[in-house]
Structure 1
Amino acid sequence: MAIRITSHAKLKVVLLLLLLGSSALLTSASYLTYPSNVPLIVAHRGASGYAPENTMASFELAEQLGADYIELDVRLSKDGELVVIHDVNLDRTTNGTGIVDDYTVNELRRFDAGSFFDPGYSGETISTLEEVLDRFGGRIGLLIETKDPERYPGLERKLAEELKRHRGLKDIMLQSFDFDSSKRMHELLPDVPVAVLVHEDKYPLSGDMLDELASYASYINCKVDQLDWKAVADIHKRGGKVMAWTVRTEKDMKRAKKLGVDGIITDYPA
């Protein structure tokens, strides 16, 4: 699939590279990648600062920009298929309206999931997780987030079954804001690293809570402006790792790296 990057998005890539002090030249086929001495770079919903989130175009661009992982969101369609979309509603990111799980997967495919970002991405569609695994599995790491799992009983089991069908894949991680969902994923897939996303209303975490989370979560991922030295040290002390989300500025990028995080989840993986 050819990479489609609009002139507007290309300008943003160039500006960010300049902001980060790069003297590299940007072309449609050659992008600057992060040096090896920095944390994992996780493309939030793909390269969502440059392309429509959670689309194949965004994932392809994240790979071209040198991200280590693509982060993506999954929900269930009306007919029980794992589909890749962030919101419970269609309205923000597609030309559809209403609730995702009111539609079958074939109905969801008919909606345009690119034009909201830029007319140049018209025709991008909602994908299934199977399609993403088929295209990107083994090419780039995948961080899969379960969205509103309480709305979809059995979501984690469906996800586990899908990943078992792609048993040979490596560099898969799972995460959720719902701690119980993360724990269920760990129980179903004990060999797959699991993360918990810490919402601000649960922060800071007590020592007892960190102990509990560390019993099943490999990563404890926190909002970048809430992280401090103590939080990172407390997670590392328990043998865990920490990612900072969602990094959108040079200031936050530098701060996260200085704190010694293990991964940076960003809209701009350039």
Structure 2
Amino acid sequence: MMSLLIVGHRGAMAHLPENSLASYALAEEVGVDEIELDVRLSKDEQLFLLHDATLDRTAGDDSARDLGPAAELTLAQLQAATLDSGRGVVTLAEMYDATHTFIQLEIKDPAVVPHLARFFEERPDDAARTVLTGFDADAVRHAAEMMPQIGRQVIVTEISKAEDFEGGLWALMDHAKVTRFASGFSGLTAELVDQLHARDIEVHVWPLRTMEQTREALRLGVDGATSDDPAQAIQWRDQILAENGVTVR
């Protein structure tokens, strides 16, 4: 039985506001191996972190509600709005300056790709602790072409979604030029994980919400799993490994 990397989903969002500096800090404090978070582009072409296309769901007060698409707001407007974290959006640079953990950076808007390339050209140390991820295979491919030095991961909700790609799963892997693949549990088998590993593609699962899912992730032999509550996920993983005589880190 192999170990399992635990990835904090938008930090430690079960306990602190998602995509906030506090959430990222808590994820690092509890010992995550990686943090997953989401990058978007403002109207004035600044990189910032937000999952949704608008601020509405994560609004802390009326200043962040009904402002329309975040992509149509300047960074100053995005920072002036109060989110549930008590402040405005976090910029990409702020996040990297405040963290040291490996980062899964999800491309929420394909328009960010050339801006990310310029960002990482100026910050090679941050590029070295990043994998670029996303559901949009074309955006991931574009990232591979512009930033070949950075790993890429395509995400699907379940294996059947990958098979829907023209040519199937393997065509998707080739098209997106991936070094990693992330999937929901549905349809994922140990045999498929082995086949992906044989192609030097790492495999991650998400979301990890129960101890039984943690057992399944370990049984499948995947490399990592993403959790809203990474402290709990680490506890589950370490307990299962200990039960199987595996020395816990």
TM-score (norm 2): 0.82
Aligned to 1:219: 180
Aligned to 1:29: none
2:10–2:23 contact (8 Å) kept in structure 1: yes
Aligned to 2:216: 255
In proportion to residue count, which structure has more helix? Answer: 2
Aligned to 2:235: none
Structure 2 Cα separation of the partners of residues 179 and 132 of structure 1: 25
Matches within 5 A, 1:119-134: 121=85, 123-134=86-97
More relative contact order, 1 or 2 (CA 8 Å, 6+ apart) = 2
Matches within 5 A, 1:1-270: 38-94=3-59, 95=61, 96=64, 97=66, 98-114=68-84, 121=85, 123-136=86-99, 139-149=100-110, 152=111, 155-169=112-126, 170-200=128-158, 202-204=161-163, 209-214=169-174, 216-270=177-231
* Amino acid corresponding to residue 137 of structure 2 in structure 1: F
2:35–2:101 contact (8 Å) kept in structure 1: yes
Structure 2 Cα separation of the partners of residues 76 and 249 of structure 1: 34
* Amino acid corresponding to residue 22 of structure 2 in structure 1: A
Structure 2 Cα separation of the partners of residues 246 and 112 of structure 1: 28
Structure 2 Cα separation of the partners of residues 47 and 226 of structure 1: 27
Structure 2 Cα separation of the partners of residues 205 and 256 of structure 1: 23
Name the SS of the counterpart of 2:142 in structure 1: helix
Name the SS of the counterpart of 1:168 in structure 2: helix
1:142–1:172 contact (8 Å) kept in structure 2: yes
Name the SS of the counterpart of 1:194 in structure 2: strand
TM-score (norm 1): 0.76
Name the SS of the counterpart of 2:206 in structure 1: strand
Structure 2 Cα separation of the partners of residues 226 and 267 of structure 1: 22
Structure 2 Cα separation of the partners of residues 69 and 167 of structure 1: 18
- Structure 1 window deviating more from structure 2 (186-195 vs 164-173): it is 164-173
Unaligned runs of at least 5 residues, structure 2:
232-249
Q: State the Cα deviation string for residues 209-243 of structure 1 (Å, max 9, x = none).
A: 41551472000110123422233122123221110
Name the SS of the counterpart of 1:92 in structure 2: coil
- Structure 1 window deviating more from structure 2 (57-66 vs 38-47): it is 38-47
After superposition, the CA RMSD in angstroms is 1.9
- 4+ residue stretches of structure 1 with deviation over 3 A? 203-209
Structure 1 Cα separation of the partners of residues 74 and 183 of structure 2: 34
% identical equivalent positions: 34
Structure 2 Cα separation of the partners of residues 82 and 47 of structure 1: 21
Structure 1 Cα separation of the partners of residues 145 and 6 of structure 2: 27
Structure 1 Cα separation of the partners of residues 199 and 79 of structure 2: 43
1:224–1:247 contact (8 Å) kept in structure 2: no
1:214–1:240 contact (8 Å) kept in structure 2: no
Name the SS of the counterpart of 2:54 in structure 1: coil
Name the SS of the counterpart of 2:8 in structure 1: strand
